[in-house]
């Protein structure tokens, strides 16, 4: 029988070190906001120098005016060459999207990031993007912010879990500083980086994000990053149904993009040359695409804003949808340094803008907004992040329900078709498996008293567990002691053994969980409901 006194147990396993780690997270949030500002200014500086031959740090699009075809072709190649050299002779860790590298650091290296990565990653990313690379700044700043959080943690006596929390706090603060989307940043941390939902990590991450959002205002301004025209949404049942269709189309686009990225990576891996040269070859792909659709170059914030305002021309929509998808996915496979969020926003918005040509009008930029949220949900397997991110970018809070419908649809189709996302496939190829399913441990709801035997222990030199301990606590005790059989006592009389608990009994919790998952039976039949209704009616008569 389960114990009746559970005062020793709480809803969460937390200690006062939560306050200490939160205190560490606060300055990290402020620091990373400044780093994000520097990265954006560095991208602007390189873009202005390369494409406009002027000094300036404002973010500008490489394709705003007509350029020499030789410049469009050669600039990405030169940028890729520099990135390859930095990776070869600086740190190979700068290669990649940014988010998978942060995930890998959490999973395999105790959340320890080399200090030089914090310096070289933003420089390499700024060069790649500033020379026309069709990438986002958010992936690099997530990795860079995570690096600063990890380095700060490594200066103190902290556990690997505490370092992880501060790494993710820096990463989420970086995303907040770039996009002014604090809630989406926290959700991204939970859905992709923390691999848990616990107060010990959630509270420090939220604290760092809050500080980064506050510091961002004097540095980069406040308000929506992509403001949209005000006005009511004219939604009906048909519009909601079409959100399901839009989600399905976004899932298909995410499937194509993910397949292209890793097909490209496989192709580059077969080349008989050192990987240092691959980003330069990827630059050739970018340059050719830039000749066809110049607006596909760079981060593309201006194009995203046009899509969300319903101002983008049809020929550009088609060009972005085809050319941006191709040059981004194929060049990303070369191992260059650049993020995936902004490109996904652009191609998702383009998909929605194309749908707006045939779907009924709801509001200006509505269908691009739906496509943007849905493709994030499908490609990154982060549906809540996709929905909240779209809302925070535009402040279109009234679009929450249709965005949820589209994102949930895209997410469902994506996980049924693709085994891994564009992010987890990257680290799976390094031999690291990621499971993003969070659930209550069945060992937490069963107690020692539910499974113990009354026989005495074979040996009494191991740790003692109590009748009202959870089986999860027993599993930890067995792991720590190296024993598969433990002595059991009452908490009030710890010196008096009352039984033993063995490993095979511990597994009963897992067996019960499997039974609840796999055993199917019909509890009620239609006639049972009819009979219950008649009985209720009869009981109600005077």
Q: Percent of the chain, pLDDT > 90?
A: 48
pLDDT of amino acid 140: 82
pLDDT of amino acid 540: 61
Q: Euclidean distance between the first and final Cα of the chain, in Å?
A: 43
Q: Are 208 and 22 in contact (CB under 8 A)?
A: no
Q: How confident is the model at residue 526 (pLDDT cuts 50, 70, 90)?
A: confident
**Can you tell me the distance from the alpha carbon of 122 to that of 113, in angstroms, rounded to the nearest whole number?**
14
For residue 481, pLDDT beyond 60: yes
Q: For the residues 515-523, what does the mean pLDDT come to?
A: 77
**Can you tell me the distance from the alpha carbon of 514 to that of 527, in angstroms, rounded to the nearest whole number?**
30
Q: How confident is the model at residue 539 (pLDDT cuts 50, 70, 90)?
A: low
Q: Percent of the chain, pLDDT > 70?
A: 96
Q: How confident is the model at residue 410 (pLDDT cuts 50, 70, 90)?
A: very high
pLDDT of amino acid 99: 77
Question: What residues does each domain of the chain span?
Answer: 17-220, 237-428, 442-518
For residue 204, pLDDT beyond 60: yes
**Can you tell me the distance from the alpha carbon of 318 to that of 209, in angstroms, rounded to the nearest whole number?**
36
Answer yes or no: same fold for 237-428 and 442-518: no
The answer to which of 239-253, 303-317, 369-383, 428-442 has the lowest mean pLDDT is: 428-442
pLDDT of amino acid 456: 56
**Can you tell me the distance from the alpha carbon of 464 to that of 474, in angstroms, rounded to the nearest whole number?**
9
For residue 59, pLDDT beyond 90: no
For residue 542, pLDDT beyond 60: no
Enclosing H/E stretch for 464:
strand 464-466
Q: How confident is the model at residue 119 (pLDDT cuts 50, 70, 90)?
A: confident
For residue 380, pLDDT beyond 60: yes
Tell the residue number behind the tokens 């760092």, with chain if given. 208
Q: For the residues 141-153, what does the mean pLDDT come to?
A: 87
pLDDT, tens only, 155-168: 889 998 899 999 99
For residue 132, pLDDT beyond 60: yes
Q: Residue 5's closest CA among 440, 444, 447?
A: 447
Half-sphere exposure of 336 (CA within 13 A, CB side): 44
pLDDT of amino acid 425: 80
Q: What phi, psi does 240 have (nearest 5°)?
A: -65, -40
**Can you tell me the distance from the alpha carbon of 5 to that of 26, in angstroms, rounded to the nearest whole number?**
39
pLDDT of amino acid 536: 66
pLDDT of amino acid 196: 84
Q: For the residues 172-186, what does the mean pLDDT come to?
A: 93
**DSSP labels for 465-534?**
EETTSBHHHHHHHHHHHT-SEEEEEETTEEEEEEEEEEHHHHTHHHHHHHHHHH-------HHHHHHHHH
For residue 455, pLDDT beyond 70: no
Q: How confident is the model at residue 101 (pLDDT cuts 50, 70, 90)?
A: confident
For domain 442-518, give the CATH number. Answer: 3.90.1280.20
Angle in degrees, CA 119, 125, 128, rounded to 5: 140
Q: What share of the chain is helix, strand, coil (3-state, %, to 5)?
A: 65, 5, 30
Cβ contacts of 519 within 8 Å, gap of 6 or more: none
Highest mean pLDDT among 113-117, 192-196, 277-281, 511-515: 277-281
Determine the 3-state secondary structure of 376 from DSSP.
helix
Task: Record the tokens describing residue 308, joined without a space.
Answer: 């969300």
β-bridge mates for residue 485, sequence order: 502
pLDDT of amino acid 320: 93
For residue 205, pLDDT beyond 90: yes
**Can you tell me the distance from the alpha carbon of 191 to that of 12, in angstroms, rounded to the nearest whole number?**
19
Tell the residue number behind the tokens 């959002």, with chain if given. 213
Q: For the residues 27-53, what does the mean pLDDT come to?
A: 93
**Can you tell me the distance from the alpha carbon of 117 to that of 140, in angstroms, rounded to the nearest whole number?**
10
pLDDT of amino acid 51: 93
Half-sphere exposure of 227 (CA within 13 A, CB side): 4
Name the superfamily (CATH) of residues 17-220.
Clc chloride channel (1.10.3080.10)
Q: To 10 degrees, what angle do helices 237-269 and 278-292 make?
A: 140
Name the superfamily (CATH) of residues 237-428.
Clc chloride channel (1.10.3080.10)
Q: In what order do the strands lie in the sheet with 493-502?
A: 464-466, 485-490, 493-502
CA 71 to chain centre: 35
In this structure, the number of other CB atoms found within 10 A of the CB of residue 516 comes to 9
The answer to which of 219-233, 238-252, 519-533 has the lowest mean pLDDT is: 519-533
- Burial class, 477, CB count within 10 angstroms (exposed 0-12 / middle 13-18 / buried 19+): middle
Angle in degrees, CA 320, 322, 326, rounded to 5: 105
pLDDT of amino acid 2: 60
Q: Residue 124's closest CA among 432, 337, 292, 366?
A: 337
Angle in degrees, CA 467, 470, 475, rounded to 5: 110
Mean pLDDT for all residues in the chain: 88
pLDDT, tens only, 302-357: 899 999 998 889 999 999 999 999 999 999 888 888 778 889 999 999 999 999 99
């Amino acid at each position: 029988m389960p114990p009746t006194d559970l005062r020793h147990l709480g809803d969460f396993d937390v200690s006062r070190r939560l306050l200490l780690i939160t205190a560490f997270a606060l300055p990290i949030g402020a620091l990373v906001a400044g780093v994000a500002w520097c990265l954006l200014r560095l991208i602007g500086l390189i873009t202005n120098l390369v494409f406009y031959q002027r000094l300036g740090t404002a973010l500008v699009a490489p394709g705003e005016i007509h350029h020499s075809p030789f410049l469009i072709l050669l600039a990405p190649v030169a940028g890729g060459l520099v990135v390859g050299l930095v990776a070869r002779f600086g740190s190979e860790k700068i290669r990649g999207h940014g988010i998978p590298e942060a995930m890998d650091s959490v999973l395999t290296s105790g959340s320890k990031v080399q200090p030089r990565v914090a310096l070289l990653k933003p420089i390499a990313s700024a060069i790649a993007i500033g020379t026309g690379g069709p990438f986002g700044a958010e992936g690099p700043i997530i990795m860079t912010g995570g690096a600063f959080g990890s380095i700060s943690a490594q200066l103190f006596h902290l556990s690997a879990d505490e370092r992880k929390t501060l790494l993710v706090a820096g990463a989420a603060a970086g995303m907040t500083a770039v996009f002014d989307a604090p809630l989406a940043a926290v959700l991204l941390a939970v859905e992709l980086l923390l691999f848990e939902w616990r107060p010990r990590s959630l509270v420090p991450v939220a604290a760092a994000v809050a500080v980064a959002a506050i510091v961002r205002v004097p540095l980069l301004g406040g308000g929506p990053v992509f403001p949209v025209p005000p006005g009511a949404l004219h939604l009906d049942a048909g519009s909601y149904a079409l959100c399901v269709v839009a989600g399905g189309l976004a899932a298909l686009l995410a499937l194509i993009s993910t397949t292209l990225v890793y097909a490209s990576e496989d192709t580059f891996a077969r080349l008989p040359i050192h990987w240092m040269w691959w980003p330069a070859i990827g630059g050739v792909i970018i340059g050719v695409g830039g000749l066809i659709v110049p607006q596909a170059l760079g981060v593309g914030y201006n194009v995203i804003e046009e899509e969300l305002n319903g101002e983008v021309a049809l020929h550009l929509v088609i060009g972005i949808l085809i050319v941006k998808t191709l040059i981004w996915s194929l060049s990303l496979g070369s191992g260059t340094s650049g993020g995936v969020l902004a490109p996904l926003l652009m191609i998702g918005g383009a998909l929605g803008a194309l749908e707006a040509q045939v779907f009924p009008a709801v509001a200006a930029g509505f269908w691009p907004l739906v496509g943007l949220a849905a493709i994030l949900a499908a490609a990154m397997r982060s549906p809540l992040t996709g929905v909240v991110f779209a809302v925070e970018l535009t402040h279109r809070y009234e679009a929450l329900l249709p965005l949820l419908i589209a994102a949930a649809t895209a997410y469902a189709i994506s996980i049924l078709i693709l085994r891994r996302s564009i992010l987890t496939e990257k680290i799976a190829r390094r031999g690291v498996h990621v499971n993003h399913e969070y659930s209550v441990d069945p060992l937490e709801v069963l107690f020692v008293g539910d499974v113990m035997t009354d026989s005495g222990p074979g040996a009494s030199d191991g740790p003692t567990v109590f009748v009202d301990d959870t089986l999860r606590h027993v599993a930890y005790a067995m792991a720590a002691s190296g024993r598969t059989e433990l002595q059991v006592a009452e908490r009030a009389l710890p010196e008096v053994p009352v039984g033993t608990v063995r490993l095979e009994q511990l597994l009963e919790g897992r067996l019960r969980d499997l039974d609840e998952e796999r055993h199917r039976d019909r509890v009620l039949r239609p006639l049972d409901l009819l009979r219950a209704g008649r009985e209720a009616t009869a009981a109600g008569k005077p």
